[in-house]
Amino acid sequence: MLYQMYETQRALLSPFAEFAAASSKLYSHPLSPFAHTPMADRVSAGLDLMHRLSKEYEKPEFNITSVAVDGVDVAVQQQIALNKPFCRLLRFKRFSDNPKVLEAMKGHPTVLIVAPLSGHHSTLLRDTVRALLRDHKVFITDWTDARMVPSEVGPFHLDDYVTYVQEFIRHIGPEVNVISVCQPTVPVLAAISLMASNGEVTPRTMTMMGGPIDARRSPTAVNNGDEQEPHRFEHNVIYRVPVNYPGAGRRVYPGFLQHSGFVAMNPDRHLSSHYDYFLDWCAATATAPMPTASSTTSTTPCSTCRPSTTSTPSRRCSRTSRWSTAPGRSTASWCVRRTSRPPRC
């Protein structure tokens, strides 16, 4: 019932999230009369934070359209190399009209990144893919949300995971280099070991990053609890998909439980991140200039206020170009100092 209760709560909060987003703009837009009332910046910041906490987040895209190879920008196209019910094998194909760059790219090694299947999307490794594309031919596993897979397809167990990895390796070819990140280290090790036992050609290299191969080593509270009660996780965290999804009835480990576990490990960090977001919003709202014919053309987006460049949640803001180009300071260092001590709002 927990999954159904969560979906009901999310459906009830959805209209309130949209209302909070619209109200936040009402109290922050410089042309709105409400933006000039006392405490308007704090009201706007609180409403926007409420919107972020209650809205539904869609799966992000990789958005890798170009990359620099030997100092030359080449186009990148995302392709589906293999499509399976529970996973897509994505290839990032590079294109260039430069003969020297083309010749260099032909000699680049091929790498398969096996992304974790643990409650988040493979786009978490977006920066890793972008960095490897400079001198590699890159493939990555893009796991499908289990709730979106029709129940008639059947279950997905560890042996299916291992089989998927083997099929991906055979599809790419023996020259592939495999990188497993965190959770898939054990399935990748099993897949390649079984291929070697059967006399098949194995990948050139196998890199396992951040995954516990033997969970008995350096045991945590989770390991100790599982030894005392082997079926504890199955009885407490496995639920059936609600009826509003194609995979209705499928037994899964819901992603919101995984996210709650991440938050529970560092609650202070998450609370301080949201509070910093609140202060950054207040600072940006309080210092944003009124749009005029002259100031509108001189405002530039502050790069350090984008979520991709900071470890804490923040918002895109507009600052005048004279602020961003303060003499003797880089844009990043100046903006961090500016928003770390926001004005009273």
How much is the pTM? 0.75
In a domain, residue 246? The reply is no
Do 157 and 275 fall within a single domain? Answer: no
Question: For residue 286, what are the CA distances in angstroms to 27, 41, 296, 339, 340?
Answer: 11, 6, 17, 11, 14
pLDDT of residue 205: 96
Distance CA(92)–CA(113), nearest Å, equals: 12
DSSP state of 148: G
> Taking the C-alpha atoms of 167, 173, 178 and 181 in order, what is their torsion angle to the nearest 10 degrees?
-40
| Boundary (domain end) residue, out of 188, 220, 252 | 220
Structural domains of the chain, count: 3
In a domain, residue 129? The reply is yes
Where helices occur in 153-202 by DSSP H, the ranges are 158-172, 185-197
For 106-133, give one letter per residue: b (16+ CB within 10 A) or e: eebebbbbbbbbebbbbbebbebbbebb
In a domain, residue 251? The reply is no
- β-sheet with 87-95: strand ranges across: 66-69, 72-84, 87-95, 137-143, 110-114, 176-181, 205-209
* Pairing label, strands 239-240, 251-252: antiparallel
pLDDT of residue 108: 96
* Pairing label, strands 137-143, 110-114: parallel
> Taking the C-alpha atoms of 149, 150, 154 and 157 in order, what is their torsion angle to the nearest 10 degrees?
20
Do 9 and 89 fall within a single domain? Answer: no
Residues of the chain where predicted confidence (pLDDT) is lower than 50: 290-345
In a domain, residue 173? The reply is yes
Do 141 and 160 fall within a single domain? Answer: yes
Where helices occur in the chain by DSSP H, the ranges are 2-26, 40-54, 99-106, 126-132, 158-172, 185-197, 221-228, 232-236, 255-265, 267-287, 295-298, 321-324, 331-340
In a domain, residue 313? The reply is yes
Do 214 and 94 fall within a single domain? Answer: yes
Domain span holding position 272: 268-345
Do 75 and 52 fall within a single domain? Answer: no
CATH number at residue 200: 3.40.50.1820
Do 128 and 41 fall within a single domain? Answer: no
In a domain, residue 231? The reply is no
Do 127 and 96 fall within a single domain? Answer: yes
Do 8 and 94 fall within a single domain? Answer: no
Report yes or no: 134 and 231 within 8 Å, Cβ to Cβ. no
In a domain, residue 239? The reply is no
| Boundary (domain end) residue, out of 220, 249, 278 | 220
Do 127 and 50 fall within a single domain? Answer: no
In a domain, residue 279? The reply is yes
Do 48 and 109 fall within a single domain? Answer: no
Do 74 and 209 fall within a single domain? Answer: yes
| Boundary (domain end) residue, out of 36, 56, 76 | 56
pLDDT of residue 134: 95
Do 101 and 193 fall within a single domain? Answer: yes
